[in-house]
Amino acid sequence: MNIDYSVLKKYPLCDRCFGRLYGKLIRSSNFERGHALKLAKAIELEEDLRTALEKMNETSENPELKPIEPEKLEEIKELMYCIYKSGISGIKLDLIDNIEKYETKFKNEAEYEKNEDCDELCPWCKGIFEPENIETVAENVVNALSEYEFDSFLIGTKLPKRFKELEKEIETPFIESIRQEFGRELGKVVVPLVKRRVDKENPDIVVMVNPYNQKVTLQVNPVFIKGRYKKLVRGIPQSHWHCRSCKGKGCEKCNFTGKQYMTSVEEIIAEPFMEVMKGSSEALHGAGREDIDVRMLGNGRPFVIEIKEPKIRKVNLEELASKVNESGNVEIINVEYGVKKDVHFFKNEPHKKTYLAHVECEEKVSNEEVAELVKKLEDLTIDQRTPDRVSHRRADLVRVRKVYKAWPHMIDDHNFELKIFCDGGLYIKELINSDEGRTTPSVSELLNKKCICKFLDVLDVHDYEDAENI
């Protein structure tokens, strides 16, 4: 293969950086690889220059001999000088006549900087691999991590834009990014200091380092805790609602709380966890949601509480669950640590549900009519257009859902309870009242009576599909 040494004419890369251009070849450090490549080329160039000079002497004595091409000689001398300026001090500059010419050209065309001691800095690494720099960055990392509890971490390197552009300009098919090497070298110093393991797949904390200005930022990954919650009272939303009047800023209508409702399932669950884990914020992810005036009973609704940027990751989950349950409004069970995939599963996987609806009819209804209704509802396909009450925040679509089974319980001539096993996403209130014909068929349509859902409870969010288990 051909090694591109011409890059040294514009960028006098140090041995380490030149070796990094071919970092995927042979097992060696970048410094050793770069130094060896430069030495090999320097030896080759010196041999070529000596041969050329001898040939020049011969042609001066014998005009019949073909003279060496001046351009070829210039190229050899220029590259020798550039390799010398990139750190190979053993090159014999006395072989290069008129060296001032190459010094001037190099100063005019090459891109490099000098430090306070007037030593030329490599234009790519700028000395970031010097022990003093790595030790300072490592100290900054340790200080940043000191406030957090964690078992695993990963170091990432953030490059300023101009160094990204430089790397792109000089890259070869075998290049190793300077980000990778710096992260590896910094890790050798940091790991013994923090005594934590490196995890490339799912670290608790990602440490982002700018090696050029020694700045450190942390990406603290969230903790996920899953379980099932029961909402034991009506009148509480699942998540925090901003006041409709002030949009959360605080006004007289909301008593300057910024809230439409004083509390929520999310806030009741999150409060004890946030207090102990010291997160910056949180988010509740549920397998669906119930209306404010609907209770969530039975085995509860699957949920994941995501604690963002926690300073404490290991907590007594049973103790915190007990604090939640003391509220009397919300109860959580089966609490355990989860993973990010749980959020996707709970939010996106369909869950069949069982409801208990208190149905009130405008006209009298008989046992026989309700029994016939139950028969019609079994395995019944429902076409449900987005309910009018949620059309402002839901796409106007016709959704196809199914009722699998229903069980009745008569209360009086105008009221009965209906236990319904159905697809998730079926609006039960509209299944009963028809929503002005937007849901068809409906309980009102099947009974040919105007009916409303007076009360509604969710009895179960199923992890199974078998109606016989209900």
**Residue closest to 330 by CA, chosen among 272, 399, 416:** 272
DSSP bridge partners of 67: none
Strand ranges inside 39-131, DSSP E:
113-114, 120-121
DSSP bridge partners of 421: 354, 405
d(CA 432, CA 360) in angstroms, rounded, equals 9
Question: 291 catalytic, yes or no?
Answer: yes
5 is in an annotated binding site: no
Phi-psi bin for 381: left (phi > 0), alpha (psi -120 to 50), beta? beta
229 is in an annotated binding site: no
Q: How far is CA 101 from CA 96, 106, 120, 149, 260, in A?
A: 10, 9, 19, 60, 79
> Per the residue annotation, which of 117, 291, 423, 463 is the catalytic one?
291
d(CA 259, CA 72) in angstroms, rounded, equals 80
Strand ranges inside 211-329, DSSP E:
215-220, 223-231, 281-286, 295-308
Strand 380-385, strand 295-308: pairing: unpaired
Joined tokens for residue 405: 């089974």
Reduced 3-state DSSP string for 237-256: CCCCCECCCCCCCCCCCCCC
| Catalytic sites, residue numbers | 291
Give binding residues for substrate as ranges. 355, 427
Give binding residues as ranges. 355, 427
